[in-house]
């Protein structure tokens, strides 16, 4: 069950039409082709970078269907099915399974703070509602709390909960997860920690920068697998300016505008997020030029 999930699986943007009112199927397919043709091993649709929080239930499910159709069974498609309530998360997860999604990724409920039993029961309910693999998603910067290690240990015993995406950047926490089960997969969700997590035993990365620089990000994983640690470390360092550029605009607009500068139509970020300022867009373009991406 776990062998197909490895390498670079970027959380792709959701391209919207110019008015921001609907999903652009054509451009979603183009973004998928862009990352896969440049070395990524799968795609993750409907994540934070994909603006799931701005989308209706129907839009989210439709994006799952488009992604599965585009992949045509050639590579895994993960889907973010998180919602604040357990019931909605379950319904989205069932819809993802019906659409043919390979695995789901579920961030812990945001806005509310759960105790350990509530957190465990939430994930257990989701896992029991589907037969496909489930990845936990730890992102305390967005949810305000870590998924406790004690809860992860309990959840790892559920057959179809097979791993976790971690965006905390806390390597002590990640190493503790890696010690839980030998076959429990850990993916880096923090682009600056890809080298560290994979060399510690992680399965790969779900890296937003791979929307823009898929070949570079993929090379970190590939060089580690071939034993070229110096080359992988160099590639990780070369990625830093792009990750730092995220500060030039409100999340998640920078990746979308970077894709536009590459000639890939990603559409606008949905309100209340504004476009980047002209000054910061020029800075972003300079970074992409320096990285030889444009």
* Residue 3 confidence (pLDDT): 57
- CA angle, 170 then 139 then 6, to 5°: 80
DSSP letters, 207-276, are: -GGGGT-HHHHHHHHHHHHHT-HHHHHHHHHHHHHHHHGGGGSSTTHHHHHHHHHTT----PPPTTPPPP
Active site residues: 137, 165
Distance CA 219, CA 39 (A): 8
Distance CA 25, CA 55 (A): 14
Nearest to 222 by CA among 193, 191, 186, 195: 195
Q: What is the pLDDT along the chain (294 residues), one digit of tens a residue?
A: 455 899 999 999 999 999 999 999 999 999 999 999 999 999 999 999 999 999 999 999 999 999 999 999 999 999 999 999 999 999 999 999 999 999 999 999 999 999 999 999 999 999 999 999 999 999 999 999 999 999 999 999 999 999 999 999 999 999 999 999 889 999 999 999 999 999 999 999 999 999 999 999 999 999 999 999 999 999 999 999 999 999 999 999 999 999 999 999 999 999 999 999 999 999 999 999 999 999
Alpha helices in the chain (DSSP H): 25-37, 57-71, 86-99, 116-129, 140-143, 149-155, 171-178, 194-199, 214-226, 229-244, 253-261, 278-290
CATH of domain 7-228: 3.20.20.70
* Residue 182 confidence (pLDDT): 85
How many whole angstroms from its chain centre is CA 211?
10
Residues of the binding site for pyruvate: 206
The model scores a pTM over 0.85? yes
Residues of the binding site: 206
* Residue 4 confidence (pLDDT): 85
């Amino acid at each position: 069950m776990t062998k197909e999930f490895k390498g670079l699986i970027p959380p792709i943007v959701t391209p919207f039409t110019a008015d921001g009112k609907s999903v652009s199927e054509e451009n979603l397919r183009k973004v998928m082709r862009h990352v896969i043709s440049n070395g990524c091993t799968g795609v993750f649709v409907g994540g934070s970078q994909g603006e799931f929080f701005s989308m209706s239930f129907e839009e989210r499910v439709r994006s799952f269907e488009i992604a599965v159709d585009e992949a045509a069974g050639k590579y895994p498609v993960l889907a973010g099915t998180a919602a604040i309530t357990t019931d909605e998360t379950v319904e989205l997860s069932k819809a993802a399974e019906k659409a043919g999604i390979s695995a789901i990724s579920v961030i812990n409920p945001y806005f509310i703070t759960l105790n350990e039993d509530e957190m465990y029961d939430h994930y257990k309910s989701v896992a029991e509602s589907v037969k496909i693999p489930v990845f936990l998603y730890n992102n305390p910067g967005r949810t305000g709390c870590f998924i406790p290690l004690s809860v992860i240990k309990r959840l790892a015993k559920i057959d179809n909960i097979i791993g976790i995406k971690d965006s905390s950047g806390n390597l002590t926490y990640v190493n503790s997860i890696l010690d839980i089960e030998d076959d429990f997969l850990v993916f880096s969700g923090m682009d600056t920690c890809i080298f560290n997590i994979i060399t510690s035993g992680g399965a790969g990365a779900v890296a937003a920068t791979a929307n823009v620089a898929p070949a570079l990000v993929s090379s970190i994983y590939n060089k580690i697998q071939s034993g070229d640690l110096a080359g992988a470390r160099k590639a990780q360092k070369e990625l830093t300016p792009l990750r730092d550029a995220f500060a030039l605009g409100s999340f998640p607009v920078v990746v979308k505008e970077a894709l536009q500068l590459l000639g890939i139509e990603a559409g606008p970020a949905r309100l209340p997020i504004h476009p980047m300022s002209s000054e910061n867009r020029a800075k972003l373009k300079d970074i992409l030029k320096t990285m030889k991406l444009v």
